Structure 1
C-alpha cells in the first residue's frame, strides 16, 4: 500500500473559465505546465515519480483535455493568469513550477506577472519569442492538422522535431509513441490548437525577464532542434541570477527520452 495520498481530480472555475486539474503526492508543491496543444497527460510518464517527492499539480491548459474551450486567441498572459488563479483557488500560496515548451512561455509570464507565487522555476526546452523558422514550422503543423491525414500521420510528423535521431531510429518504439498519440482520449480541437498557437507566436517575454526575482533554472537539450540551446541561453542571460544547464543529449522531448537525467536536474534545483 502506498504511503502517498491518492490523487484528487476536479474542475475549478477560475479566471472566467473551467480548468480540469489533478493533484497528488507528498512533499513541497510543484506545478507542471504543458506544451502547445498538450493536456496534463503529457506528464504521465514522469508523474508517478514526481509524486514520490512533491505534492504535484497538473492541469489542462484552456482549450485542452477536459478544460473549457473558450473562443480564441489565447494570449500567453491569459494562460499564466489561469494558472495563478488555479493556485489561488486551491489554496497554494507559493509553489515551484516546471514549464515545458509553450508551458515555458506560460511560466515566463507567471515569473513576470505572478512571481510572488513561485519559489523556483524550471524552464524546460523553452524560448523567449518565436523565430522565423518556428513560425514556418507552426504554419506547416496547422496545415497538416487541418488536412485529411490520419491521426497517426499527424503524430509521426511531429516526432523528428521532438525526438533525437537515436529515438527515431528505433521505429518499433517510435510507433508506440505514434499510436499512443493517435489514441489520445482527449484530443485538442483544431480551433483550440490554433487559439493557443495564435497567442504563442506573438508572445515575447524578453522585455519583462530582467524584472524576474524567482530562482530559475533554464534547462535545455543539446539536440533540441525545435527550441535550440541559443534560445535557452538568451532567456538565462536576461533573468538575473538564472542558471543555464545544457544536457549533452536530448531534444525537445528529452523528459520522455531521458527522464532520469531530467528529473534529477529538476529535483536537485527545486529542492
Structure 2
C-alpha cells in the first residue's frame, strides 16, 4: 500500500500505466475504487494516479469538516509529492468541485482538466438530497438499502428498470472492503454543501472540458453550462446518453470523450 503524508494528512494512492500523468479525483464518500473500471483503459495511455480523499478508503479520517479547498490542497500536495506535475486531471462530482478549486488555486500544476458531472454550487434540491443521505446514514440504515435509494439519482431508466443488474451493483458497493465511515461522509458533506466556485472560475485559465450526460438528474446539464460559461478556456460536451453515473453505465462513450480531449 502506497501512502503519502501531505498537507497534514496521510493519503492512500496507487499508480498504473505509463505516459503523461493523469490524476483521478473521486466523488462524495467514494474511494479510489470508483475508478476501477476506467483505470485499465486510461493506463494504456497515461500514468494514472488514483487516491482516496481524506475521510474515505484507506486514507486518514481527521476531524471534520473538510473544506473543498482543503481537499484540493491535499490533491495538489500529492501531485507535488509524486513530482509528476503538471498533470492532467479528471474530477467526478465532488471530485469536480475539488478540481475546480485546484484550477482556481493550483493552476500551475495542471495541464488540462475534465469536470465530469460537476456543479459550481449546490441547489436546494441537491441540499435536500444530501440531507436525506446523511439522515439514512445517521439512522444506521442497511448500506445496501442506502445504495439502492441513491441509485435512482445516479443511473438512468436503462439500469433502474433492470433489477438484477441494479441489485448486483448495489451489493458490489455495499461490499466495499473499505467502507466510508459516517464521520468521513459527514466531514466531506459539510464542506461540499457550502462550496461555491462561481466567483473565482473566471480566473482559472487551464484548458478544461466540462463533460455531462444529458440524462443527469442529480447534476443537471444547466450546471455544466454555467461552469463552462464562467471558465475562460472551457469546452462543453454533453453526451446524449448517461446520468450522474455515466462512467459506470456508459464507460466506452465517457472514456472516449475524456481521452479525445486529453489527447
Counterpart in the other structure of 2:205 = 213
TM-score (norm 1): 0.96
Counterpart in the other structure of 1:20 = 12
Q: Where do 4+ consecutive residues of structure 1 move more than 3 Å?
A: none
**Residue 176 (structure 2) pairs with residue 172 (structure 1):** no
Matches within 5 A, 1:111-260: 111-260=103-252
**Residue 42 (structure 2) pairs with residue 50 (structure 1):** yes
Offset at residue 233 of structure 1 (A): 0.3
SS in 2 for 1:72: coil
Aligned counterpart in structure 2 of residue 65 of structure 1, from 57, 60, 63: 57
**2: CA distance, partners of 1:61 / 1:116:** 21
TM-score (norm 2): 0.99
Unaligned runs of at least 5 residues, structure 1: 1-8
CA RMSD of aligned residues (A): 0.7
**What number of residue pairs does the alignment pair up?**
263
Counterpart in the other structure of 1:4 = none
Counterpart in the other structure of 2:255 = 263
Offset at residue 40 of structure 1 (A): 0.2
Query: What CA deviation, in whole Å up to 9, does each residue of 1:78-102 have, x standing for no partner?
Result: 0000000001111112000000000
Counterpart in the other structure of 2:88 = 96
Offset at residue 148 of structure 1 (A): 3.4
SS in 2 for 1:256: helix
**2: CA distance, partners of 1:241 / 1:188:** 35
**2: CA distance, partners of 1:241 / 1:212:** 8
**2: CA distance, partners of 1:58 / 1:198:** 23
**2: CA distance, partners of 1:114 / 1:32:** 16
Query: What CA deviation, in whole Å up to 9, does each residue of 1:127-150 have, x standing for no partner?
Result: 000001111111111001112321
Offset at residue 103 of structure 1 (A): 0.1
**Residue 57 (structure 2) pairs with residue 75 (structure 1):** no
Aligned counterpart in structure 2 of residue 35 of structure 1, from 24, 27, 41: 27
**1: CA distance, partners of 2:153 / 2:197:** 23
Offset at residue 214 of structure 1 (A): 0.4
**2: CA distance, partners of 1:93 / 1:200:** 26
**2: CA distance, partners of 1:152 / 1:64:** 18
**2: CA distance, partners of 1:46 / 1:241:** 26
Query: Does the 8 Å CA contact 2:208/2:234 hold for their aligned counterparts?
Result: yes
Offset at residue 241 of structure 1 (A): 2.5
SS in 2 for 1:261: helix
SS in 2 for 1:22: strand
